[in-house]
Structure 1
């Protein structure tokens, strides 16, 4: 007995292989790899190409930032230049004003000194002797030049001698008290006018120390110290060397290496004192003369 009839095959049954190629263009392994990359967020772009794309993007971003910075600098440059110009003008104007004020101070100081000298001349009966003795006028004449300098290498060694006062200082350094004694010795020897490093000494001058610096009337001096004395040069030198202060200077020279040189000069110039300040003196007013007429 014959079995059930089989269904007739489709007309394209002989084209099965072609259908497989058309319907399944990728192998299952390729499909799995593509699905895995998609799940991991990766694309199919090769790694070298991705690196180049990132580099190109970075360069483009850097170029954009540089362009924006240059544009901003170009915009801000005029304002910066203007501010710099204004600041320069203010500095120049302030400097010019300071120079004018300094000139005015110098002129006023010169006028005050001239009035002081004139007052001294009037007090001296029209003579310049009082102004000369007070240091208000410059003087010239024969005299003595005495140069005193620190010992070689002063300031490099440690002290410990009688001139140190227990501190760490060089015994070969000229101090304020040394200059005080030398100046007093020159006055005692008959000096008519004195100056130290061009600084005129008067009856109210002070020689002091500020640390290692020596001050004359609050003006700092540096070694070597040049003392100029007006008078008979030979007599001044001989008289000074015989005073106690002259002997003291000889001890500094022999025992501590202080350098001393003296020379007689045919002419020395000593300037006027920069300022004269009277603390106690005052002019005396002469009483007016009264006369009685003779009766006729």
Structure 2
């Protein structure tokens, strides 16, 4: 090493070595972990277990295996007992569950019957009120003007039944006949539900846009606060379940409505489902179609929009 390097504090790795030692190859020590990975292929735990097994008495291994088999047999018996107890409990409570289901079904049917009776009474009373107010208002000019305004409001509020010409749109899921009386065309078990609530909503909105004056879906009048929505596999109209085939009746000028409906987004959507999934679609015009009155609801808040 030169004097300049020594003055700068340099270190000569060959200092103190003979020429032979300096020319020899320097070997780096191998870490113990790397050495163990390369040389010891058996985990120490396995090695200890093998040594313990070799040092054990000759009959000890058989006793250990027998004890293991006994524990496995005991676990299998315990699992079988648990399953047997669960099955026995399910069988014991099954009659009670079935009886409770029958009671609940009877309660539902009774409530539906009472609701239907109340609806019929409401319709009768509403008809009587309408007759009385017409007799009281039809004599004077002001009364007749008021009756005309009331008729327009009841038509918009869907609280009066409507009879007249219009269109009937019937859509059915695949494997469901348009005519429910045809047993051969009923739904095949396991068939898919293709028609959804948004499809019926689109058809109804298209009929409104084509000039419909009153619309019903599945025999239920569409009016203010009436919704068409999906609940699992059922479609609810005003919270009443309806099933395929779905019948949509629209009262209005049939010729112009049908011409406009043929190019509407609702029928285009139905035709696409018909081509892709085999949905049944039928549009027919008729006279004397009936749309029932809708349920009258109390309005708690209203805001006038427009002039």
Aligned length: 174
> How far has the Cα of 1:109 moved from its partner?
6.8
Match of 1:272 in 2: 293
4+ aligned runs moved over 6 Å, structure 1: 99-102, 116-119
- Cα distance in 1, alignment partners of residues 299 and 252 from structure 2: 26
- Cα distance in 2, alignment partners of residues 229 and 130 from structure 1: 18
**Alpha carbons 1:155, 1:173 under 8 Å: kept:** no
Question: Which SS does the other structure have where 1:242 is aligned?
Answer: coil
> How far has the Cα of 1:118 moved from its partner?
8.5
1:131 to 154, 161, 165: 154
1:191 to 202, 212, 215: 212
Q: Any stretches of 5+ residues in structure 2 without a counterpart? A: 1-112, 138-142, 176-186
Q: Any stretches of 5+ residues in structure 1 without a counterpart? A: 1-98, 158-169, 284-296
Structure having the larger proportion of residues in helix = 2
1:248 to 255, 269, 274: 269
1:121-160 equivalent positions in 2, closer than 5 A: 125-127=146-148, 128-152=151-175, 156=190
Question: Which SS does the other structure have where 1:273 is aligned?
Answer: coil
Match of 2:221 in 1: 200
Structure (1 or 2) with the larger CA radius of gyration? 1
- Cα distance in 2, alignment partners of residues 113 and 105 from structure 1: 12
1:213–1:106 CA distance, 2 compared to 1 (3 A): same
1:280–1:267 CA distance, 2 compared to 1 (3 A): same
Question: Which SS does the other structure have where 2:146 is aligned?
Answer: coil
- Cα distance in 1, alignment partners of residues 201 and 158 from structure 2: 18
1:173-252 equivalent positions in 2, closer than 5 A: 173-252=194-273
- Cα distance in 1, alignment partners of residues 232 and 196 from structure 2: 10
Query: Under a length normalisation based on structure 2, what TM-score does the superposition of the two structures give?
Result: 0.49
1:100–1:236 CA distance, 2 compared to 1 (3 A): closer
Question: Which SS does the other structure have where 2:266 is aligned?
Answer: helix
